[in-house]
Every structure is written in C-alpha cells, then in structure tokens.
Amino acid sequence: MQVQLATIFFLLISTTVLPPSTTASYAQPPITGYAPAPSPTSDDTDYIRTSCATTRYPETCFTSLYNYSTTVRHDAGRLAMVAIHVALHNATHVAKYVSNMYSNEPNYSGNTRESAAINDCESVFDDAVYQMRKSVKEMRQLGWTGESVRFQLSNVQTWMSAALTNEDTCIDGFEGVADGGVKEDVCGRVVAVMEVTSNALALVNRYADTISN
C-alpha cells in the first residue's frame, strides 16, 4: 500500500533561481513550514547522488537537490516531488523574466524575428508552468493502491514530458535570430531550466518503476 505523499510532507519552496549557466553552482532553495532539518549525513547525500546518476544531468541534479537529503530520507517519491518543485519554481521565474522582457522593452514590440521568438517563448513557458503545477497537484494526492498510483504517475510523466517539450520549443523559436544578446540570454536561462525539468522527469520515472500492485 502506498502512503499518500500529501500526508508525508507539503513543500513550500522559496527558492533561489538557477543561474543561466549549466556550469555554474546551484544555490540551495530553503524549505519553509518545517522545523530546521539536521545537517545531511553522508548516507543521505549518497542517496541523492545515486538517484541522480540515473538522470541525464547528474551533476545538475545533485547540486540542485542535495540540500533536501534530510527531507527526502531515501524516499523516491519525496525526491521526485522535490525535483518537480525545483523545476516549477525556475520555470516560473523564466516565464516571468521573458514576459517582463517583452512588455518592458519597446524594441521588442515590432514585427521582428526576435520579438516573435520572445513572444512565442512566453506562451510556451506559460504552458510548461501550467503542466508542472498539474504535476505537483497530482503528486500531492497520490492514491493508496499501486494501480491508482501508477495511473496518477503516468499523468505526471505526460505533463512533465510536455513541459520539457515546451521549453525546447522556446529555444527552437530563436533559430534564425542573430547569436548573442537576447538570444544568448534567454536560451541560456531556458537550458538551465530544461536540465532540472529533465531530471525531475527522470526521477518521476524512477519512482514509477518502484510501484507494484
């Protein structure tokens, strides 16, 4: 019988946003609403590293999630939930960043390839954020039987995959736009978010593989 994740813990993350660089260090978002967690043990962090080894971006995965190791407590479901929250927060930040870029800069209001790419990116990131929010909601209300949990996780897998596709579509929209400047700025931020989204999906897949009847 699966214990509902909603009864295990509820995450309210006030996060520091990932930098627009896939090689920069990742700041650790605090979790609010809980007593301060003890310092992670090597066993706790080893679980995060081992789990992240199954993802496409293992170092990004570890550096963005290791500070949650005492909350995760070797639980694949909790780890997947934390990873989705981290991806959601950062996708939300990029969506707001691109929206502000488009609305606050008169140079982007014309009918240019660059302004069209920014406008399209804003739209697809709004979709990605919506899909991740649905994923968080589904993870909070997982059922009690293996069959129901597998069905709900299949929804999460579908939505997180769609979110990743939408993020990639943003980058595709900049084909034909001159390198540097806005293109480099936006695409760098999007790539960083794509990494944590991809990792979150991989950790959901890993959790789904542990569910039995």
Percent of the chain with pLDDT over 90: 61
Nearest to 61 by CA among 82, 38, 44, 36: 82
CB 49 within 8 A of CB 62: yes
H/E element, 32? strand 31-32
pLDDT at 28 over 50: no
User: What is residue 213's predicted lDDT score, i.e. its pLDDT?
Assistant: 56
Residue 143 banded pLDDT, cuts 50, 70, 90: confident
Pair of tokens at residue 79: 């780890």
Nearest to 129 by CA among 177, 102, 175, 97: 97
Nearest to 172 by CA among 157, 184, 187, 192: 187
User: What is residue 43's predicted lDDT score, i.e. its pLDDT?
Assistant: 81
Pair of tokens at residue 20: 């627009």
pLDDT at 124 over 80: yes
Nearest to 160 by CA among 191, 117, 193: 193
Window from 14-23, 169-178, 198-207 with minimum mean pLDDT:
14-23
CA distance 195 to 210: 23
Q: Tokens 């990131």 belong to which residue?
A: 125
Over residues 147-202, the pLDDT tens digits come to: 999 999 999 999 999 999 999 999 999 998 989 888 999 999 999 999 999 999 99
pLDDT at 14 over 60: no
Three-state SS string across 179-212, please?
CCHHHHHHHHHHHHHHHHHHHHHHHHHHHHCCCC
User: What is residue 7's predicted lDDT score, i.e. its pLDDT?
Assistant: 36
Bridge partner list, 32: 12
